[in-house]
Amino acid sequence: MPRWTRVTPWIRFLALFLPVLLLALLVAWLPRLVGDEQEDASEPVVVPLVLTPAERALQEELVELADGFDGEVGLAVQDVSTGRILHANGDELYPQQSVSKFWVALAALGEADEGDFDLAEQVTLRREDMTVFHQPLREIVRARGRFDTDYGDLLDRALTRSDNTANDRILRRIGGPETVQDFIDDAELEGIRFGTDERTKQSAIAGLEWDQDYSIGNAFFDAREEVPDAVRAASFEAYLADPIDGASPIAIAHALGQLARGALLSSVSTELILSTLEQTRSGPRRLKGGVPAGWTIAHKTGTGQFYGGEQSGYNDIGILTSPEGREYSVVAMIRRTGAPTIARMQMMQEVVRATVRYDEAAYPDSGDEPQGDEVNTEP
């Protein structure tokens, strides 16, 4: 019998049943691909292929804000209840700067939840603990010679006042950068680099190696002025190209959502960090400047160094809460910009206002489910 006659039945079988098999696979996997059914909001759906009208409007506003800004911008917003994330350039890494204090606080509270760290533990700060840039504690230590407090107070100062010395002292107590990155990795928060302590990071960006004398007065600024321009430029550009503390807005939005859901810390620690972040003093005209009456925001800012008329990192991240209790992760990160500060703040405020408009469109009757028929969009 010729060989082709023996294989003909198999060809007929494949011709009849292969389309059926492909259709079954398509039916099984299509909802997962488009994010049509989101059973677990802890798993983010990033710019799903199927958007509601409210989501589509928010997505378009974010893209318009990013495209219209004079700088490299990444924006992301997550509706915490659905896990769905809308963004503009949100999958790229941006320098966090003091946003990284948020991860130190999370890791410290995680250690406290495990019984390995006590916020009531006493600590003494001396001259050798001083760091660089914004550190209100330095004046206290300079005047008194030392400062006795506890780690709970340092946590509050690190978050609400963005005190670098408070942050680095907590970091050293809990085991250093590795402990923080381990917390991030164990929580499966991908796309987030913690980096290192403030002294090491800021020195490297300036083309310097840290010397403790830099913590006194203007010594750091004076030393930075002596760095050759070629070295400063190379160090500045290297940081922006591959930031040691780089994170994507999408990743941060997801992490904020996980915190809001209580998936990262105990209920006590979750309440503590959120209530503390609501008292943040830095950046009152960034995201917070766009928050309407009745809404609240728990947020953390980050601000980097200047060189050549540009700033390396200008950020604000937070959890925005409606009067009805609906929560949104809101992330605004600028990699580099020479735009006036007022323009940066206005852009961030518009991100908040766009999120509020989304809330009004998605929940017009203050119900629990987003409203509106879904609209197909291109991938």
Residue 8: predicted pLDDT: 45
Residue 58 lies in a domain: yes
pLDDT digit string (tens) for 125-144?
999 999 999 999 999 999 99
pLDDT of residue 330: 99
Assign residue 270 the CATH number of its domain: 3.40.710.10
Neighbours of 375 (CB within 10 A): 11
Q: Is residue 35 part of a domain?
A: no
pLDDT tens profile 115-126: 999 999 999 999
- How far is the C-alpha of 17 from the C-alpha of 134, rounded, in Å? 69
Given this model, what pLDDT does residue 366 score? 66
Helix and strand totals (H; E) in the chain: 13, 13
Size (the chain), residues:
379
Per the domain annotation, does 8 fall within a domain?
A: no
The answer to the question of residue 7 being in a domain is no
CA-CA distance, 124 to 119, in Å (whole number)? 14
User: For 198, phi and psi rounded to 5 degrees?
Assistant: -65, -40
Token pair, residue 350, equals 């518009």
Residue 39 forms part of a structural domain:
no
- The segments of the chain whose pLDDT lies below 50 read 1-39, 372-379
pTM of the model: 0.86
Whole-number pLDDT of residue 46:
76
At 40 the pLDDT is 59
Q: Specify the number of domains making up the chain.
A: 1
| Residue ranges making up the domain that contains 53 | 45-376
* Best CA proximity match to 351, nearest among 99, 102, 86, 95: 86
14 falls within a domain: no
pLDDT of residue 41: 63
Task: Decide if 7 contacts 15 (C-beta within 8 A).
Answer: no
Distance CA 223, CA 226 (A): 5
285 belongs to a structural domain: yes
Flag whether 12 is in a domain. no
